[in-house]
Amino acid sequence: MAHPFTTALRQRPLLFDGAMGTMLYEAGRSLDECLDALNLSHPDTVASVYRAYIQAGADIIETNTFGANRIRLEHHGMADKVRDINFRGVKLAREEREISGRPVLVAGSVGPTGRTIAPIGTLTAADATAAFREQIDALVEAGIDLLVVETMGSIDEMTAALDAAKQATDLPIVALMTFAEDGRTLSGHEPQTVVPILAAYEVAVVGANCSVGPQRLMGVVGKMREACESLSDGGPAVAAIPNAGYPTMVGSRLIYRSSPEYFAEFAGRVIDAGARIVGGCCGTTPDHIAAMRAAIDARDTNGETQPKPPSIRPAGTRWSSPADTGDHIEPTRLKRRLGQSFLRCVEIDPPKGLNPQKALHGARLLKDAGVDAINVADSPMARVRMSAMTLCYLIQQELDIETIIHFTTRDRSLMGLQSELLGAHAAGVRNILALTGDPPNLGDYPESSAVYDVDSIGLIRIITRLNQGEDSAGASIGQGAGFTIACAIDPTRDDLAEEARRLHAKIDAGADFVMTQPIFDVDVWRRFLRYFGEERLPVPVMIGVLPLQSSRHAEFLHNEVPGIVLTDRARDRMRRAGSEGRKEGVRMAQELLQELVPFADGTYIMPSFGRYEVAAEVISVLEGSSLLAPAQ
């Protein structure tokens, strides 16, 4: 499946954000300090800039890492902070995206070294490539969606950065040169000369940023578009991201003259000239981006109205949940299909803020890809997120696809557990994964008190009694509920005998099916079955599959995330994959999925960094396959 960036690029013009340095300067920072290091020293200030551009309507926000390569950081005595600064810059951007709930893409910003490449300068191309590679590795590890190599005045430095990018990742690349008043790069290259050089690197976008204002950039963009069209495949898309005119000093302040209204008018003209990406560079603010957003949204692109974000149905609209007829409650659709076909589910995390738009967008993509149900996690890693119950309800209301809610005993008393379950049933949320939950001291609120009146086994017993028509104290609830109960197991843990014992207890308590922690080798599951004492479980099982993104991602999961254990073979494959890490991760997940089908009744995919398109690509291997027949 195509990357969301390239898919969106084909569908409509995309809006980048505006200046980072300008906004940090407005916030009181000095332009001669290391602005990238503010990711560590003043994260709230950086986050507020990301937030402002998201609220202004940007489709893509760039990380505050423009100068975070080793060569530039050396001037500030921070050459040893390359990974920390870049990783934190991405993390802050991703957190603001999560809080916003909007499907914004995070672009890793890579700017020039500030040195001249040999033979004119003293910096060798190999040293420049090594510095860029170090930075890009950190950006990819932190979970960027695409890479932006920008403000390059030298084609030699741009190609050094692109060499590093191609070694490090297969993510989409936006390559932006900077041009002077004469329409040439600082090294003297014309737009029509630059384009074929960049296109040879198979970048998704070529373009121009910085240096000049909108008027001057129009001519550059036109020539780049013509050069792209002359290529056999039509070439990459074109981007135009100008400064807000030329800066002037007013007192002690640096002022850019171009207004938001002027930029809004420019956005329309440059899109007509062939640009697929617009945005702002030095001197632009969220006001400029908001004006451009309004101008783009008012356009009718390719004869089609711009897509609107998913709506939320008004209260009182009923989702087509399993029918309740008299005293009889129909089983959930999921329960009716368990054991009848190989089920495909994908996990979605609720947003960290008020807006569920990104989660709903992801759920819609997954439904279109053929997913049978959406898993919704309950504040994973004990970090505050929107209520999983609410998001399940919204997904079912909006998309008419069933959800599986991860329901923990961590935050709810015995009475609260049962109250919420009754409410979930009334709302049509009836597939429950019964979990104990991560302790609060793992997350952002270590002072928060855990409840744990019961563990996951006790929760399964409670839900079973509700299905029998009574609460845990034996009081009648009027009729039997229609919950489908899932339980969790970890086949990678050291004490498999204890894990097998607990699974027996969960099944005896009433679990209808099993969901596992992610595994990376079918032999891991076979080994667990030997401990359990049977060739197959007595209830259906969905095995967790987590597509890896890179070798660093694999090592992070293996060494730092509780409950995830990779095999040596999986880690070695990711190390050998190099820049093809994302593709290799998909291949590994697809191979594992095919191997698991004889041993399982379904899978649930756990995509990292909210990359739901990766999950869709993984399950596509089963499309139209006889493997979807029930396991025997």
CATH number of domain containing 350 = 3.20.20.220
Beta bridge partners of 304: 301
Selected residue with higher pLDDT from 309 and 424: 424
Residues 404-422, buried b or exposed e (16+ Cβ, 10 A)?
A: bbbbbbbbbebeebbebbe
List all residues 6 or more positions away from 269 whose beta carbon is below 8 Å from its beta carbon.
Answer: 218
Q: Whole-model pTM?
A: 0.81
- The answer as to whether 285 is a domain residue is yes
Q: If 0-12 CB within 10 Å is exposed, 13-18 middle and 19+ buried, where does residue 374 land?
A: buried
* Whether residues 519 and 395 fall in one domain: yes
Q: Which residues of 232-268 are buried (b: 16+ CB within 10 A; e: fewer)?
A: eeebbbbbbbbbbbeeeeeeeeeebebebebbbebbb
Sign of the four-CA dihedral 49, 53, 54, 60: negative
Report which DSSP code applies to 296.
Answer: H
pLDDT given at position 326: 43
Half-sphere exposure of 10 (CA within 13 A, CB side): 7
Predicted local distance difference test score (pLDDT) of residue 249: 42
Query: What is the mean predicted confidence (pLDDT) over 589-594?
Result: 93
The last residue of a domain, from among 257, 279, 300: 300
Asked whether the predicted pLDDT for residue 302 surpasses 50, the reply is: no
Same domain, 357 and 493: yes
The pLDDT of 521-530, averaged and rounded, is: 92
Question: Are 19 and 66 in a shared domain?
Answer: yes
Residue 77: the pLDDT is 96
> What pLDDT, on the 0 to 100 scale, is given for residue 626?
56
Q: CATH code at 108? A: 3.20.20.330
Question: 490 and 349, same structural domain?
Answer: yes
- Whether 403 and 376 have beta carbons less than 8 Å apart is answered as yes
Q: Helix H segments across 447-579? A: 456-467, 496-509, 522-532, 551-560, 568-577
Domain-embedded: residue 587: no
**Residue 446 CB coordination number (10 Å):** 10
What number is the average pLDDT over the span 65-85?
97
625 assigned to some structural domain: no
The answer, yes or no, to whether residue 211 has pLDDT greater than 80, is no
Confidence of residue 353 (pLDDT cuts 50, 70, 90): confident
Whole-number Cα distances in Å, 514 to 161, 443, 447, 487, 522: 47, 26, 32, 5, 16
Cα-Cα-Cα-Cα dihedral of 489, 491, 493, 497, to 10°? 90
pLDDT computed for residue 597 by the predictor: 87
Buried b (16+ CB within 10 A) or exposed e, 387-403: ebbebbbbbbbbbebbb
Task: Tell whether the torsion through CA atoms of 368, 370, 373 and 375 is positive or negative.
Answer: negative
Strand, helix or coil for residue 494: coil
Q: Residue 250 pLDDT more than 50?
A: no
Which domain-ending residue is among 281, 300, 319? 300
Of the candidates 43, 600, 57, the residue with the CA atom closest to the CA atom of residue 293: 57
The answer to whether residue 305 sits within a structural domain is no
Give residues with Cβ within 8 angstroms of 476, minimum separation 6. 469, 470
Q: What are phi and psi of 533, to 5 degrees?
A: 95, 10
β partners of residue 375: 347, 404
Confidence band for 563, pLDDT divided at 50, 70 and 90 = confident
Q: What integer pLDDT is reported at residue 160 of this predicted model?
A: 97
Q: Which two tokens mark 354?
A: 């008020």
**What does the mean pLDDT of the chain come to?**
88
Write out the residue range of the structural domain in which residue 81 sits: 4-300
The Cα–Cα gap between 11 and 2 comes to 12
- What is the signed CA dihedral for 277, 278, 281, 286, rounded to 10 degrees? -120
CA-closest candidate to residue 288, choices 22, 31, 90, 92: 22
pLDDT of 533 above 80: yes
Return the higher-pLDDT residue of 324 and 555: 555
Q: Give 445's pLDDT tier (boundaries 50, 70, 90).
A: low
CA–CA dist 542, 604 (Å, integer): 6
Is there a single domain that holds both residue 273 and residue 342?
no
| Dist CA 473 CA 220 (whole Å) | 75
Same domain, 12 and 161: yes
Angle subtended by helix axes 551-560 and 581-596, to nearest 10: 60
Is residue 319's pLDDT more than 60? no
Specify the pLDDT at position 444.
Answer: 56
* pLDDT > 70 in the chain, percent: 89
> What b-and-e string marks burial along 166-188, b requiring 16 or more CB atoms within 10 Å of the CB?
bebbbbbbbbbbbbeeeebbbbe
Contact status, residue 574 vs residue 551, Cβ threshold 8 Å: yes
- Examine the domain organization and report whether 175 and 265 are in the same domain: yes
- Flag whether 229 is in a domain: yes
Is 626 contained in some domain?
no
Does the pLDDT value for residue 163 go beyond 60? yes
CB 350 within 8 A of CB 357: no
Least confident span in 87-96, 312-321, 449-458, 584-593: 312-321
Query: Residue 196 contacts by C-beta under 8 Å, 6 or more apart in sequence?
Result: 227, 231
Give, rounded to a whole angstrom, the gap between the first and last alpha carbons of the chain.
30
**311 confidence band (pLDDT: 50, 70, 90):** very low
Given a cut of 70, is residue 559 above it in pLDDT? yes
Q: Considering 300, 321, 354, which residue would you say is the last residue of a domain?
A: 300
Distance CA 435, CA 377 (A): 10
Specify whether 413 is located in the same domain as 541.
yes
| Residue 374 pLDDT greater than 90, yes or no | yes
pLDDT surpassing 50 at residue 203: yes
Instruction: Tell me the three state secondary structure of residue 174.
Output: strand
pLDDT at 346 over 90: yes
Rounded to an integer, what distance in angstroms lies between the CA atom of residue 378 and that of residue 401?
19
Distance, CA of 18 to CA of 61 (rounded, Å): 8
How many residues are there in the chain?
Answer: 632
Q: Which of 416, 420, 453 is nearest to 436 (CA)?
A: 453
Residues 57 and 157 in one domain: yes
Q: Which of 490, 509, 378, 484 is nearest to 432 (CA)?
A: 484
Assess whether 376 and 486 both reside in one domain: yes
**Within a domain: residue 465?**
yes
Question: What confidence tens digit (pLDDT) does each residue in 422-439 have?
Answer: 999 999 999 999 998 877
Domain count, the chain: 2
Cβ pair 436, 410 in contact under 8 A: yes
Please report the pLDDT score of residue 535 as a whole number: 78
Coil, helix or strand for 151?
strand
- Same domain? 234 vs 337: no
Asked whether residue 217 is assigned to any structural domain, the reply reads: yes
Q: Phi and psi at residue 605, in whole multiples of 5°? A: -95, 135
Q: Both 48 and 192 in a single domain?
A: yes
Q: Please list the residues that pair with 66 across neighbouring strands.
A: none
Residue type, 246: Y
Q: Which of 173-177, 215-219, 327-331, 473-477 has the lowest mean pLDDT?
A: 327-331
